[in-house]
Structure 1
Amino acid sequence: MRLEVKDIKKSFGDNEVLHGVSFDVESGKALGLLGRNGAGKTTTMRILMDVFHSNSGEILLDGKKFVQRNHQIGYLPEERGLYPKKTVIEQMVYLARLRGISKANAIANSKKWLTRLEVIDYEKKKLETLSKGNQQKVQLASTLVCNPDIIILDEPFSGLDPINSQILQQVVRELISENKIVIFSSHQMSYVEEFCEDIAIINHGEVVLSGDLDKIKLEYGEKQLVLSAVNLSLDELESRCAGELSDLLEITGKIKDTLIIKIHDGVTRNALLTAIISKNIEVEHFETYKPSLNDIFIAKVGEE
């Protein structure tokens, strides 16, 4: 399946919050939908689920108008939306029944996901008696109880310790391998990098960057190198580069014990390396800079 969001605009009164959002995601892949707080991510998700209606634009599934009621969509919100006074199994079955699942299948699916997420022992407990992490796992189980083909996860790792995070990571990988459409939103960029082949960054209601994450990293790292020296501290290397090699490069950042440098137009790597060696700088690292998603995110939306 291929889900396409095309030029979605949304206003609340006179305030337009989405100014033509477009991206696409295929089954068997995960899309990282990223942005600062208030950028428009949640509004976009709610339009995908038909909670809000867009003012213009369209959503297509395999080239045809996407009719949400004809598909099972699993949504994990950032804020918990379950009932603290109800037992875990009671509300999971109730939510599954609301989505058109038979009672027998609702019970079976609930037990399946509670077992998979290692919270089956709490099925008859009231939700409020569970720890924050276990409540999050119950919420995820509720998201998947209808066996959705389209899954939207908003900050799914919130409140999870490292062991429970690992369980959730395994589940997300399984969903992707089962050819589900997965839209993944998180401020924890390491998780996005782990699961998502494609990203879309929203800022002030507009997509400011989208596409294949590996290609984006290569583009952002173009003409940039990682440089360190055996015989110089980082400060000494920075000083030497800024002074003696400024006609060949500029310093664009630092990561741990290395400099990030950008080669000036017309300068080749070989020429730069020769010049560095001629300055009696013993090179330890001299390689292509591949920025992290966090670096790219800050570059696009962090100036504010």
Structure 2
Amino acid sequence: MTDEAPPVITATGLVKRFGGRPVVSGVDLVVPQGMIYGVLGPNGAGKTTTLRMLLGIIEPDSGERTLLGHRHPRDASDRVGYLPEERGLYPAMKAREAIAFMGALRGLPWKEGRARAQQLLENTGLGHAADEKIRKLSKGMAQLVQLLGSVVHQPDLLVLDEPFSGLDPVNQERLEALILGERDRGATVLFSTHVMAHAQRLCDRLAIIAGGRRRFEGTVAEARGTLPQQVHYVPHFPNDDLARHLPPDARRDGDGWRFELPHDGIEALLKRLIDAGYGISGLSIERPGLHEAFVRIVGQAALEQAA
């Protein structure tokens, strides 16, 4: 990606209501070229509706969007790979043919599609399943086959709606590797999820949506930076009087204590603890994870409402 490259997706003020109820309420997005971009949010946040508006599957009630330079997203459909949240393949098709078929829908010649499908299956450790019918595959393997069908035509943009849902850890790793491989190939990847671990590992940038509104946009590091760093301190000689020497927010954590990094740094506090005879058995300073930042940004009330 270069600084001059236009964004793959832009959206301004997207609004969508169903039955008079607002589902998306003025979402703005800019997805740069060549990045893995995550749309995060609790269940019911409006993620799927937002993706469908960006792809032109449904029309917004108001707002504008462009996709790969087109104001009408469907004009660029052959350059897009899409894995919807609701999966579906013809159960009587063999895995290789199902992938080739999905490529043919995007203009890929059948013979080339079958060859690419075989290679993709082998690359993801599923070469043995090429001639298996979809109905004989496990749920996770069938889901990966559908994903391979979304990338077989080598799209410029890959859009995945909750792609990790229902996958076991092995297939989750395969999916993560495939997403990284698509970015390395030069594609832009946009995916939605409510599982922070995948987003923290994969995303170059992300947006957090809750209640139909965008609450944050930036890098994973910037999201985690919305919370102060945490100190985990384990004394060498603990006793019941230790708590009064620690910051007011200190709380027990296993054999030690956890608290926010003081504004004036950790050095003065450590000196007091050493001088008081508690010593240091363990010490670490950690940036909170994306999950903690997500909870802070979204708010506990919004999470409880989604649940």
Give the TM bin, normalised by the shorter chain. Answer: 0.7 to 0.9
Q: After TM superposition, what 4+ stretches of structure 1 lie above 4 angstroms from structure 2?
A: 61-64, 253-258
Is 1:179–2:186 an aligned residue pair?
Answer: yes
- From 265, 268, 272, the equivalent of 1:275 is 272
Deviations 1:12-53 (A, max 9, x none): 231111111122222332112111111111111111211111
Structure 2: 5+ residue stretches without partners? 1-5
Is 1:218–2:225 an aligned residue pair?
Answer: yes
Deviations 1:68-121 (A, max 9, x none): 422521122233221223333343333222222223333333233223223333
Deviates more, 1:132-141 or 1:19-28: 19-28
State the partner residue of 2:122: 115
State how 1:190-209 maps to structure 2 within 5 Å.
190-209=197-216
Cα separation, partners in 2 of 1:163 and 1:208, compared to 1, 3 Å: same
Normalising by structure 1, report the TM-score. 0.84
Cα separation, partners in 2 of 1:94 and 1:213, compared to 1, 3 Å: same
The residue identity in structure 2 corresponding to 1:260 is R
Q: What is the rounded CA distance, in whole Å, between the counterparts of 1:39 and 1:206 in structure 2?
A: 8
Q: Secondary structure at the match of 2:223?
A: helix
Q: What is the rounded CA distance, in whole Å, between the counterparts of 2:134 and 2:269 in structure 1?
A: 62
Q: What is the rounded CA distance, in whole Å, between the counterparts of 1:257 and 1:57 in structure 2?
A: 53
Report if aligned partners of 2:116, 2:152 keep a CA contact under 8 Å in 1: yes
- From 239, 242, 247, the equivalent of 1:240 is 242
Q: What is the rounded CA distance, in whole Å, between the counterparts of 2:248 and 2:186 in structure 1?
A: 45
Q: Percent of aligned pairs with the same residue?
A: 31
Is 1:93–2:100 an aligned residue pair?
Answer: yes
Q: What is the rounded CA distance, in whole Å, between the counterparts of 2:137 and 2:68 in structure 1?
A: 41
State the partner residue of 2:3: none
Report if aligned partners of 2:11, 2:30 keep a CA contact under 8 Å in 1: yes
Deviates more, 1:157-166 or 1:11-20: 157-166
Size of the aligned set, in residue pairs, is: 294
Normalising by structure 2, report the TM-score. 0.83
- Return the structure number with greater strand share: 1
State the partner residue of 2:24: 18
Q: What is the rounded CA distance, in whole Å, between the counterparts of 1:37 and 1:254 in structure 2?
A: 32
Structure 1: 5+ residue stretches without partners? none
Report the alpha carbon displacement of residue 196 of structure 1 after superposing the two structures with TM. Answer: 0.8
Report the alpha carbon displacement of residue 249 of structure 1 after superposing the two structures with TM. Answer: 4.0
Report if aligned partners of 1:29, 1:197 keep a CA contact under 8 Å in 2: yes
State the partner residue of 2:44: 38
State the partner residue of 1:84: 91
CA RMSD of aligned residues (A): 2.7
Q: What is the rounded CA distance, in whole Å, between the counterparts of 1:254 and 1:190 in structure 2?
A: 25
Report the alpha carbon displacement of residue 156 of structure 1 after superposing the two structures with TM. Answer: 2.6
Report if aligned partners of 2:83, 2:163 keep a CA contact under 8 Å in 1: yes
State the partner residue of 1:57: 63
Report if aligned partners of 1:136, 1:158 keep a CA contact under 8 Å in 2: no
Deviations 1:226-281 (A, max 9, x none): 33323338xx5xx733x344xx5423x6665553313566x553333333333322
